[in-house]
Structure 1
Amino acid sequence: MFTVHTLRELSELVGLGVAPYLRYSPGPESDASHPSTDHESGLLMPGVSVNPLAAPEWWSLPLEDWLARRVCQYLRELREGARPWVLDGKQVDFGPDNEPLLVDLQPVAWISPDLLEEARERYHARLDAGAATHEA
């Protein structure tokens, strides 16, 4: 698998429909051997949970801003030994957080540490990272 080094490169892949999903895990070989588990119930899900990368129609900022936000959403997984990578596959259902569940995974590329850093910087510079959508 090749490695994507910039948000611009990732944006091109997403725009072509080649890499519509992001996943943080040990990698494709590990994920091919078992589906994801719902950690709260302990149930095996019918596929691997992923994060969609395509921006919704209402998003009017650059795609790179959306991708930075998506890449940064699961950075905590890095501390648990996961690596980010992009993929495609067949969607079979949704997980407990409404995330797509995929089978027939088609790995596309690893996400480089340089891209992670670029995403962090862009996310904090261009968006109100961590802002609450409402007050309790």
Structure 2
Amino acid sequence: MALHVPDGPLTLDDVPRLRSLGDVVELLPVATPLYVRFSAGPVADAAAESRDHESGCLLPGLSVNPLDPEPWWDRPVEHWVARQLCQYAHLMTPQRFPWALTGELAGRGPDCEPLLVAAIPVASIDRAVVDEAAALYARVFDPGNDGT
């Protein structure tokens, strides 16, 4: 999958639409680092301030989740991506959806999540991808196991 970046501001109309978990995994070597964000999209995010909802503090970037596995991850890449997509899937509404992006790391949020600036939309992600990720997550992980 080739990453084409047109001139000018990018919208989700300018980027590929990912329709499967495999599509997300294929994109990882093309756009690294790759993150997912659940929001109203890049245009809405560019026009709004990012705030921590609990404290009210202004954040120095967009809150995202990493889609690239950490070096210590010894399971299939699909498992990492599924887990990351599921972490904030509860934020999906008709107005909020997942999209993939890259950018510059500006810091960490209150949940230690990466905060990005100079965000570049890379792809939109269908709800079906999150549903596929949830099914895989339920099958290969032990949700809620805290080791006690």
1:132 pairs with 2:132: no
Question: What is the alpha-carbon distance in structure 2 between the residues aligned to residue 37 and residue 104 of structure 1?
Answer: 17
What is the TM-score when the length of structure 1 is the normalising length? 0.90
Structure 1: gaps spanning 5 or more residues:
none
The residue correspondences of 1:52-131 to structure 2 (distance < 5 A) are 52-79=66-93, 81-128=95-142, 130-131=143-144
Question: What is the alpha-carbon distance in structure 2 between the residues aligned to residue 29 and residue 35 of structure 1?
Answer: 12
Match of 1:27 in 2: 41
Q: Kindly report the root-mean-square deviation, in angstroms, between the aligned alpha carbons of the 2 structures.
A: 1.5
Question: What is the alpha-carbon distance in structure 2 between the residues aligned to residue 117 and residue 124 of structure 1?
Answer: 11
The residue correspondences of 1:39-50 to structure 2 (distance < 5 A) are 39-50=53-64
Question: What is the alpha-carbon distance in structure 2 between the residues aligned to residue 6 and residue 60 of structure 1?
Answer: 22
What letter matches 1:3 in structure 2? R
Give secondary structure in 1 for the equivalent of 2:28.
helix
Question: What is the alpha-carbon distance in structure 1 between the residues aligned to residue 68 and residue 49 of structure 2?
Answer: 23
Deviations 1:50-78 (Å, cap 9, x if unpaired)?
11111112211110011011101111101
The answer to whether the Cα contact below 8 Å between 1:91 and 1:100 also exists between their aligned partners in 2 is yes
Match of 2:3 in 1: none
- The alignment covers a number of residue pairs equal to 134
Query: What's the CA shift for 1:132?
Result: 2.7
The answer to whether the Cα contact below 8 Å between 2:102 and 2:122 also exists between their aligned partners in 1 is yes
Give secondary structure in 1 for the equivalent of 2:29.
helix
Structure 2: gaps spanning 5 or more residues:
1-14
- Which structure shows the higher helix fraction? 1
What is the TM-score when the length of structure 2 is the normalising length? 0.84
